[in-house]
Structure 1
Amino acid sequence: MPLARTAPTAPAVARTTARVRRRAVLPLLVCVLYAILQLAAGPQWTLFPDSYRYARAAEQYLGASRQEAHRTALAAYCESRAERSAHDQRLQPLVRRSEHAIAETEEKACLDRWADAPDITTDDPRYQAIFSTRPGYPLLAAPFVGAFGVLGGMRVLGLITAAAGSLLVFGLLRGAGLTGWAAAAGQVTFLATPLGWWSAQALGEGLFTVCTLGVLWGGLLLTRRRSVLAAAALTVFSYTAAAVTRYSSVLVLAALLAAAALAALCFSSRLRHRGTAVFAGLSAAAAGGVVLAMRMLGLPSSRTTLQDTFTHHFDGPEVSDPWSALLGLAGRFWRDWAAEQGAMPYFLLLTAVAAWALAAYGDGLGWLALATLLTGACLITAHPLVQEADRLGVLMWMPVVLGLPLIVDRHWATRPVREPEMPCVGASTGGRPELLLGRHKNQ
């Protein structure tokens, strides 16, 4: 007969609580230090043209009219860009004017230029539809904008999304069996790469990255056969939140993750089980759901975004064959990218080391990281503009964030030595002594 379990004593509960608190200190301390560094960045943080549109939408969600929202968002945009311009000009050796005077002149010129315009780019309904059909980020930004204003609110939100992304990386790596120090290494890597930088900006990248990490965490739990219902719920919620943020990107991400899960089912005996199949099904359903929503709701398609690219925001005549134009531009871009990486190959080297670690120690995590890297590459290929490639392809850094901590875990992290639990022979092991050992070993 198995031994009866006794209720945990008060000292045991206290020790468990203290241990949980100690484990939470390290990732939270990383977030605090990151916030301090970001607040010291000054005008390095600024609004982008897309930030203006998100701020305008947030103001409208708070009840402002379109014109009022335009004026408020424009004032914040001009102030932010003027401060950055003044800062950059003051670094020039021949500039004698004060930074304040330069900022005032730049801000006034910006306000005068766009005060009577409906948008700082174009009011073409096709262009406006690209943003109005992605309400996720401005909806999230609305309470922050209402509480702290446009600049303060969007900066606070950026810090929160970057910190949240880093905490998700920490939790995901802990769920993969890594030590706290190794998971913290992944958290720091996230914040130190473009993933962290773009997550902190007043753009939708931060929210979409958080949603992507939620999907990856759900996929990891499913492929490791842990908490199937909770993992499935996390995956569905993350896909849904990502879809209202950037549905076109979700289509690519979900399709590639479904393909990765199917590949794992075919080529990995360890991952050939129900959890992996569930993740493949959920990802395929997410991709199919986006396609269905695009057709039923008339959402802007890839052809619309291509016309936006090749007509300079619909300022010129439409291109008769945008796909051929895209093929040529993408080819030129990737050739230039390869040359740039050859001259400074730190991304390729880090990715190669991370890929080795994921292949050697990832236990299914490598499939998820590979699909995420390909998602970033596909997003760049669909919009191959040099000035936007770093932002659109930011998910290409995910293997680095998830792979390098595996090396720390295997070669530098110190693991506590624990005695294996010795259940009563014959109770649940069938009298087999080999089942009494090794249950605590990290997978």
Structure 2
Amino acid sequence: MDTARTVPPAPAAARAARGAGRRRAALPLLVCALYAVLQLVAGPQFTLFPDSYRYARATERYLGAPPAEAHRTALAAYCASRADRTAHDRRLQPTVRQSEDAIRAAAERACLDRWADAPDITTGDPRYQAIFAGRPGYPLLAAPFVAAFGVLRGMQVLGVLTAAAGSLLVLALLRSAGLTRRAALVGQVTFLATPLGWWSAQALSEGLFTLCTLGTLWGGLLLSRRWSAAGASLTAVSYGVAAVTRYSSALVLAALLSAVTVGALCLRGRARHRGTAAFAVLSAAAAGGVAVAMRTLGLPSSQDTLQDTFTHHFEAPDVPDPWGSLAGLAERFWADWSAQQAALPYFLLLTALAAWALARYGGGLGRLALAIGVTGALQVTAHPLTTEAARLGCLMWMPVVLGLPLVVDRHWSARPVRQPARGRGDAPDSP
């Protein structure tokens, strides 16, 4: 029959299906490649921060350099990076007549002369140095990249890879939650386009901690669907790496996720199973373990970081009531932040839409994503400084990154939501 001639032979149909599958699988990698190209075009937008210098110095020490040499190497990279940014910014001023090379050379020399004999570009106070000594995670991760490419280029390569890995984790997490490829790809692109992606690409610990946060969230999602073995392993590893990356942030994250999960166990009948209980126990154990380690190892506490904040890195005498000072500063900061958001409310609008989607469609994913957003807000509250708020509060974008794909999946997807496979008698924790 004529209609039979229009059906392609089985081998051809199979080849076409395999080709389409390979193209769909390659699309997320293409997004990562495009992102890497854009980072190369960004030029001096990648700049080492003062904290980057300290992480670079620690990395050099892990690679075997003596303290003085580690300082010189990290300082050289820091000064070169800042000089590039200074030259770029000054050349945009209409009254500047110097060449960019001359501006760069002068800025680099001034930076090196200023800090060459100093113990640190901020302060050598032991209390301040102890804050970074308890964070070996990122310097250890950076070590092979710095060994291969040098400080500046190695940290930039690591940043691009970290941001790309974070976007792929978002993609895989959303697929595990049952979203379509199109919706998960929206989540990947959103991650790279928001401050979460930008700060993940910087030479700071934010990128590694974001990966740990996503790993913890993914483990919690798997456990909420009773995939206990994989979820428990992923959760435990993520908490462990987070603790050696930024132990104070890991403590807040674990405590909040534990509280949210215990609440789900008490209030949601479908959440009362072994997987959810396991995640609650792992989160509580992570929070307790970090608290015990802080006391046992003598790591700097919130009291120390508050004194650092209110004494400008211990240059001024300690304040008598740092918690009272924090309450007043936080109140002023959030009032100012609210006014700024009211003037340009794109973040509030996106967060409101994402929060609605997570609450309505997210199930276990929704409550965990919203808890991570609250973690970001608490980190800002603990350090309510306008110069650091964007970095410390980047986790506040996590509900947007994970919530907008749910809107796409429910309202603009051509196919129904795919439910993940589950064992007999299991039921996903969903609305």
Aligning the two structures, in what range does the TM-score lie when normalised by the shorter sequence? over 0.9
Any idea what the Cα deviations from partners look like across 1:84-118, whole Å, max 9, x if unmatched? 01100011111111111100010000001011111
Q: Which runs of 4+ in 1 moved over 3 A?
A: 10-23
Q: Could you tell me which residue of structure 2 aligns to residue 117 of structure 1?
A: 118
Contact 2:264–2:271 (8 Å) recurs in 1? yes
User: How far 1:23 sits from its partner (Å)?
Assistant: 3.8
User: How far 1:249 sits from its partner (Å)?
Assistant: 0.2
The 1-side partners of 2:380 and 2:311 are apart by: 18
The 2-side partners of 1:55 and 1:386 are apart by: 25
Q: How does 1:82-161 map to 2 (within 5 A)?
A: 82-161=83-162
Question: Are 2:189 and 1:188 aligned?
Answer: yes
Q: How does 1:216-235 map to 2 (within 5 A)?
A: 216-226=217-227, 228-235=228-235
Q: 1:132 to 1:359 in 2, by over 3 A?
A: same
Question: Are 2:346 and 1:350 aligned?
Answer: no
User: How far 1:60 sits from its partner (Å)?
Assistant: 0.7
Identity of aligned residues (%): 73
User: How far 1:417 sits from its partner (Å)?
Assistant: 11
Q: How does 1:236-385 map to 2 (within 5 A)?
A: 236-385=236-385
Look up the SS of the partner of 1:386 in the other structure. coil
Q: Which amino acid aligns with 2:187?
A: G
Any idea what the Cα deviations from partners look like across 1:40-93, whole Å, max 9, x if unmatched? 000011000000000000011111001001000000000000000110001111
Any idea what the Cα deviations from partners look like across 1:168-211, whole Å, max 9, x if unmatched? 00000000000111100000000000000000000000000000
Contact 2:376–2:393 (8 Å) recurs in 1? yes
Contact 2:180–2:417 (8 Å) recurs in 1? no
Look up the SS of the partner of 1:97 in the other structure. coil
Question: Are 2:61 and 1:60 aligned?
Answer: yes
The 2-side partners of 1:14 and 1:250 are apart by: 47
Q: Could you tell me which residue of structure 2 aligns to residue 4 of structure 1?
A: none
CA RMSD of aligned residues (A): 2.3
Q: Which amino acid aligns with 2:177?
A: A
User: How far 1:267 sits from its partner (Å)?
Assistant: 2.2
Q: Could you tell me which residue of structure 1 aligns to residue 396 of structure 2?
A: 396
- TM-score norm. by structure 2 comes to 0.92
The 1-side partners of 2:188 and 2:194 are apart by: 10
User: How far 1:20 sits from its partner (Å)?
Assistant: 5.8
The 1-side partners of 2:173 and 2:393 are apart by: 21
Contact 2:77–2:151 (8 Å) recurs in 1? yes
Look up the SS of the partner of 2:270 in the other structure. coil
Q: 1:257 to 1:12 in 2, by over 3 A?
A: farther
Q: Which amino acid aligns with 1:144?
A: F
User: How far 1:269 sits from its partner (Å)?
Assistant: 2.2
The 2-side partners of 1:374 and 1:146 are apart by: 37
Q: Could you tell me which residue of structure 1 aligns to residue 71 of structure 2?
A: 70
The 1-side partners of 2:216 and 2:397 are apart by: 16
The 1-side partners of 2:18 and 2:68 are apart by: 53
In terms of mean alpha carbon deviation, does 24-33 or 73-82 score higher? 24-33
The 2-side partners of 1:407 and 1:64 are apart by: 51
Any idea what the Cα deviations from partners look like across 1:288-320, whole Å, max 9, x if unmatched? 000010111111100010111111111111111
Look up the SS of the partner of 2:314 in the other structure. coil
The 2-side partners of 1:24 and 1:107 are apart by: 45
User: How far 1:31 sits from its partner (Å)?
Assistant: 0.4
User: How far 1:364 sits from its partner (Å)?
Assistant: 1.6
Q: Which amino acid aligns with 1:386?
A: T
The 1-side partners of 2:389 and 2:413 are apart by: 35
User: How far 1:416 sits from its partner (Å)?
Assistant: 7.6
The 2-side partners of 1:15 and 1:255 are apart by: 49
The 2-side partners of 1:274 and 1:16 are apart by: 39
Number of residue equivalences: 415
Q: 1:17 to 1:210 in 2, by over 3 A?
A: farther
The 2-side partners of 1:139 and 1:294 are apart by: 20
Contact 2:178–2:417 (8 Å) recurs in 1? no
Q: Could you tell me which residue of structure 2 aligns to residue 26 of structure 1?
A: 27
Q: 1:241 to 1:13 in 2, by over 3 A?
A: farther
Contact 2:136–2:245 (8 Å) recurs in 1? yes
Any idea what the Cα deviations from partners look like across 1:141-186, whole Å, max 9, x if unmatched? 0110010000110000000110010000000000000011110000
Look up the SS of the partner of 2:213 in the other structure. helix
Q: Could you tell me which residue of structure 1 aligns to residue 52 of structure 2?
A: 51
In terms of mean alpha carbon deviation, does 408-417 or 310-319 score higher? 408-417
Q: Could you tell me which residue of structure 2 aligns to residue 432 of structure 1?
A: none
Q: 1:229 to 1:342 in 2, by over 3 A?
A: same
Q: Which amino acid aligns with 1:414?
A: A
Any idea what the Cα deviations from partners look like across 1:112-147, whole Å, max 9, x if unmatched? 101111110111111000001100000000110010
Q: Which amino acid aligns with 2:175?
A: R
Q: Which amino acid aligns with 1:154?
A: M
